[in-house]
Amino acid sequence: MYIITGGAGFIGSALVWELNNRGIEDIIIADHLGTGEKWKNLVPLKYTDYYEKEDMRELINKNSGILADASVIIHLGACSSTMETDASYLVDNNFNYSKELADFAVKNSIRMIYASSAATYGDGSLGYKDDESEIHKLRPLNMYGYSKQMFDLWVRKKNLLPKLTGLKFTNVYGPNEWHKDDMRSLVCKAYEQIKEIGKLKLFKSHHPDYKDGEQMRDFLYIKDAVKMITHVIDTEISGIYNIGSGKAETWNKLATAIFEGMNLEPNIEYVDMPEHLRNKYQYYTKADMTKFTATGYSSTAMPLRDAVIDYVGNHLIPSAHLEPNSQ
């Protein structure tokens, strides 16, 4: 049995979709649905049971036998907003909840895989290498990134790295992210903006080494991300690993692919970046995938252009969620 926290969310629901395609339905999902439309991600999926996050916390803190048959906990539930300023909320939701799950997993000899984040790398001055011995040197630029860093450091301090697997996701985009509001990928937000005003606004560069729109990110399509997670499940590796494409691509290239997917000529306007973002902005990210590929993962991430066109044409235009294959 699989326990997936955040299972109604973006990456979580996509993982359930991938497991369903493998014929796996013995899945318990935990999440917080709230008043938004996250619930729509669950509609096509097949799973055994659903618990609200606080109910799941109560079950694990009571060491409930309801969860005793679990073979793996995949902890993807978190507040992922880089703009969240309530540090106490982030500590409880992203750090304390993770510790509770880890304690439960270790106590019951259940494997645990959890989502860390490339946001822990901060401005990238120390690189993007998933070296567990160096994580204490990283300086995240926002509280979200630090909440993830706190748990990585706790896992190392408690000598749990041989028992747990942390995944540092880069900029993941794709279907099932509609509910994320301002934290949706640029692809999703750009599609709506282009439909509305016929052009896309990108931030100007405020760094002398980068021209406007030439800031670079490691973009990872959700369909590749879930393949990487299932590889982790299959190989039973432990420790902390980057989950990314291993390529740095420009915002301009991403934007061009969006327009192509919409059968439109590129029309980009560069606008000033808000002052409050300038000292928190990452101009370059690129996951070092050496360690992950050494585990035997041989698949290559879908090229950016192909992935964006698939997302736009097969999911954004028809407003289609991920639907498991018929079985």
pLDDT digits (tens, 9 = 90+) for 13-61: 999 999 999 999 999 999 999 999 999 999 999 999 999 999 999 999 9
If asked whether residues 30 and 179 sit together in one domain, one would say no
What are the residue ranges in the chain where pLDDT is below 50? 327
In a domain, 12, yes or no: yes
Q: For residue 111, list its beta bridge partners.
A: 72
Q: How far apart (Å, rounded) are the C-alpha atoms in residues 304 and 227?
A: 16
Query: Which pLDDT score, from 0 to 100, does residue 166 have?
Result: 98
- Of the residues 51, 144, 191, 241, only one is catalytic, namely 144
Q: How far apart (Å, rounded) are the C-alpha atoms in residues 139 and 164?
A: 23
255: domain CATH number is 3.90.25.10
22: domain CATH number is 3.40.50.720
The torsion angles phi and psi of 8, rounded to 5 degrees, stand at -95, -5
pTM: 0.95
121 is catalytic: no
Neighbours of 171 (CB within 10 A): 20
163 is catalytic: no
Which residue from 200, 217, 180, 204 is spatially nearest to 83, judged by alpha carbons?
180
In a domain, 183, yes or no: yes
Write the secondary structure of 222-271 as one string of H (helix), E (strand) and C (coil): HHHHHHHHHHHHHHCCCEEEEECCCCCEEHHHHHHHHHHHCCCCCCEEEE
If asked whether residues 267 and 225 sit together in one domain, one would say no
If asked whether residues 158 and 255 sit together in one domain, one would say no
User: Which residues form the domain of 11?
Assistant: 2-172+220-244+286-299
If asked whether residues 125 and 199 sit together in one domain, one would say no
If asked whether residues 40 and 89 sit together in one domain, one would say yes
C-alpha pair distances (Å), 154 with each of 136, 142, 171, 266, 291: 10, 18, 24, 46, 21
Q: For residue 249, list its beta bridge partners.
A: 217
- Of the residues 180, 204, 227, 291, only one is catalytic, namely 180
Q: How far apart (Å, rounded) are the C-alpha atoms in residues 116 and 119?
A: 8
In a domain, 65, yes or no: yes
If asked whether residues 212 and 268 sit together in one domain, one would say yes
If asked whether residues 141 and 204 sit together in one domain, one would say no
If asked whether residues 178 and 160 sit together in one domain, one would say no
If asked whether residues 68 and 201 sit together in one domain, one would say no
In a domain, 195, yes or no: yes
Please count the structural domains in the chain.
2
Query: Which pLDDT score, from 0 to 100, does residue 82 have?
Result: 85
If asked whether residues 197 and 141 sit together in one domain, one would say no
If asked whether residues 54 and 165 sit together in one domain, one would say yes
In a domain, 327, yes or no: no
If asked whether residues 23 and 112 sit together in one domain, one would say yes
Query: Which pLDDT score, from 0 to 100, does residue 326 have?
Result: 58
